Amino acid sequence: MQTSDDAYENFILRHLQHYGLFTGRVSPSCSPRRDQSPGRGRWAITQDYQSDTHPSPPRSPDNITGDEEQDAEGPYPLLLTKPVRTRQLLLDFVRGRPIPRLREPRDLLAIPCLSSPFQGVRWPAECEVTVDDIQHIEWDPPEAEPFYQCTGHERTPMPVGDDRGRVVYAIDPATKMPYFTCSRVGGTRGPLKNPSCPNVPETSLSFESRFESGNLQKAVQVGVHDYELTLRHDLYTTKHTQWFYFRVENMKAGVPYRFTIVNLLKPSSLYSSGMRPLLYSKRAASEQGQGWTRTGTNIKYYRNNVEEDGRPLYSLTWTLEFPYGGDTCYLAHCYPYTFSQLQRYLYAVMARSSVAAYCKLRVLCRSIAGNPVYVLTITAPGDGSEESAVKPAVVLTARVHPGETNSSWIMQGFLDFILSDSPDACLLREMFVFKVIPMLNPDGVVVGNYRCSLAGRDLNRNYQTLLQESFPCVWYTRNMVKRLLSERDVILYCDLHGHSRKNNVFMYGCDSRHDTSVDLQERVFPLMMSKNAQDKFSFSSCKFQVQKSKEGTGRIVMWRLGIRNSYTMESTFGGSTLGNRTGTHFTTRDLKAIGFHLCDTLLDYCDPDESKAQQCLAELNTLVALKMRRKLGLGDIDFEGSLDIVSVSDFESSTGGSNSSESDGPPVHLMSSVKQSQIQPPKKQLRSRKERNRLHRKLTRRTISRSAPKSTDTMVTTQPQPQESQPCTMSKKKSQDILTMVKTQTRARAEIHQCAICFQTSAPNHDLGFGCSAQIRRGARMPHHSPQEMFLHTVEAYDISTALPKFYRGGHVACPGAQPRPISGSSVPVSVHKDKQGQALPIHTASLTLSPRYEACQVTHCRLRSE
């Protein structure tokens, strides 16, 4: 029997052997008759015929020697004496001779039949799943839905639990094992358990969440119309409860019901800023064509009196009146978008004959549970020219966090436009190759997780992983981008997300601080986006930091692979605070419009006419200069330094977002083995004293040559004047050098990476009070300075002359007989300090001298806190 390294090919070969289509030896009596039809003749099959191209005809069996018959790798004849009982073979005829090849595996187009009750969705084997196929109509309200206005009189009910309430709904946590083991279409086998508890009054509400993306764990009735709700954690974790989606029945119309979710984990939420939950009524949808609407009054988000594993819990409470009695309604955190809904959308898209010419749908990989991760390749058919072969690429992904459903609506808006017959869409397909992954985490979407996959980890912290089996979705995505970069340029990577604590739409990018040739270029695309979507996109909310805690995100990993424009687009769960949409919620139409604006901005960014890009760069330089002045407190000081010296991202606040530190790293069941297999890094070998002295002398010569003046005329020498201060006389070049040492952050914090006063000197006993590392080692108290004072105090020196008052002297004694040699310096402005009697002591300007007594040393860190 012929074998292959490919498991799929082996399966087909065994399949053919099972039906008697292979024979073990060639017999001359088996040669076909001339009057026999070509389809029933005898021909050989080899591995080469499994390619899409037609190979050359096989050799005639009559020419095969005896040794070749015994060779396991030789061709095997195939007898078609009976009908072929497989659909995996395709027969091509070359000169009347049949040439077999394998059909493309069905997994490449794994969209199951729409009549399937679960549409092939695979669940963890422990999950109970209802047979209902949940579908909602798409609808946009005729008017914008406003935020809830807080009155200050909202109630804050505290959890009472099962002791003082009646449990009306409870389901198994679906985590019998601490980690994922196996999956099954439709979840667990056997009849479903009744989630309603006994002795529940007939007037109580009926809850259900055992459907796709639902995650209600328990409901406790604590009043006649008050219900306390507990959400299920992300499977195989003990955290990430923010997304909710469940069904309610048996309600009465016109009765105010109160719902309180008691186990939320985030300390802040958009519900504190006026965001309202979503309500969907099946009766309103069937009778009035009305879909999801914002609803609720007396909305309050607050910390309750319960802790879980040492973490405080938060509650969300709201009241609402259902529009109809005896209705079936759904409540959700954001507009749901399930895996089955994505499959229905892709099925409808590929059913259009015109789309097949420029859109190919394939399966990138299979998730842990076996659900397909779809990838679409969208581009105009090539004409064989070199330009079409090297078209730049654009990569878009969404739903790596399953609870951020707004990203799927943005993705659908993007696909609606790029697959349309619009002239702009045709132009984009001519210009680019689009690689689109609409749902990176289908397992998490299916089970109703907010942030994690079935590995119990945040996929957006594991793009650097080597665990292909545990993180297949991001592992294959990263490899796909690597292969794409080897073939063509990738002009844009954008990962679509949702944000639970900020309004509007904005982007997180990566600051190319070490590449001055592309300075501020990463900010051009977001700025263009804000101009195209002025009432939805906020450029002021965009951040461009590369934080260590976010090293495993798709944005930073793709940026390090070489994609300059690598972004995370965050869309709010709430609404807009911009333009005429101020104080209103986003609808699905607004979210899909963001996808259209993304295409529009891509055209502007790649326009051969660079006037728009140049205008944006000029505007960015002005904005950044103003921000730097404001943060540094420069005021009216002349500052004309280039922006490549100080990274603008250091002046920006943290990108924030959800804390996934406990969901980072390998899966739970691999944690112990990984810890045991970690290899301790080798200890750093200490240098000998001779090597250290040689290194110090070399460093001293280098710093002296860099800092010594070219002529004595350039040195500033000023005698101390006790009652007056001298103005700052720093040159532009000096100010630029100083800016490299000034790192300010929000909250009025500043960091200086090299201490200015004791820079490159051995001054362990100085008492200048600038908070240098020498004082930190001695435990001295660090004074407070404003950012402007710090900027003006930052100077380079090797020693302080004895002309300074003792309070500000370095406390050094020059070597006897050594002649102090002046170096370049700057006058120091007044900085008010107080003595023990509370009187102000000014810092006076003085010349700076070099004492050869001290050897060079480096001061690594100095931190100052402003007042």
Tell me which residues are annotated as active site.
570
Cα(811)–Cα(797) distance, integer angstroms:
15
Q: How far apart are CA 298 and CA 18, in angstroms?
A: 69
Task: Quote the CA–CA distance of 110 and 122 in Å, as a whole number.
Answer: 13
| Residue 371 token pair | 């659900």
Contact 128, 256 (CB under 8 A): no
Longest Cα–Cα distance of the chain, Å, equals: 121
Task: Return the half-sphere exposure (C-beta side, CA atoms, 13 A cut-off) of residue 352.
Answer: 14
b/e per residue, 376-407, with b = 16+ CB within 10 A? bebbbeeeeeeeeeebebbbbbbbbbbbbbbb
Amino acid identity of 472? P
Half-sphere exposure (Cβ direction) of 268: Cα atoms closer than 13 Å: 9
**The Cα angle at residue 359 between residues 354 and 365, in degrees rounded to 5:** 145
Alpha helices in 386-456 (DSSP H): 386-389, 406-418, 423-431, 442-447
Closest C-alpha to 233, from 219, 222, 218: 218
State phi, psi for 112 to the nearest 5 degrees.
-70, 170
Tokens of 61: 């069996």
What tokens does 858 get? 């480096």
Cα dist from 284 to 44, 114, 318, 344, 726, whole Å: 64, 26, 21, 23, 77
Cβ atoms within 10 Å, residue 467? 16
- Find the angle CA(655)-CA(659)-CA(664) to the nearest 5 degrees: 115
Question: For residue 250, what are the CA distances in angstroms to 230, 246, 694, 821?
Answer: 20, 14, 85, 91
Query: What residues have CB less than 8 Å from 171, skipping those under 6 apart?
Result: 128, 193, 195, 209, 210, 217, 218
**Six-digit token string for 26:** 């060639």
| Amino acid at position 542, single letter | C
* Chain centroid, CA 135 distance in Å: 28
Which residues, other chains included, contact 782 with Cβ-Cβ below 8 Å and sequence gap of 6+? 769, 771, 775, 776, 864, 865
- DSSP E strands in 125-244: the ranges are 166-170, 183-185, 206-208, 216-221, 226-231
The Cβ-side half-sphere exposure at 837, using a 13 Å CA radius, reads: 3
Residue position matching structure tokens 């002297």: 809
E-only strand ranges, 748-854 = 749-752, 799-800, 821-822, 833-834, 840-841, 848-850
Rounded CA-CA distance 319/309 in Å is 30
User: Residue 493: enclosing H or E segment and its boundaries?
Assistant: strand 490-499
How many H helices and E strands in the chain?
19, 34
| Packed helices 423-431 and 406-418: angle between N→C axes, nearest 10 degrees | 90
> Judging by beta carbons within 10 Å of its beta carbon (0-12, 13-18, 19+), is residue 634 exposed, middle or buried?
middle
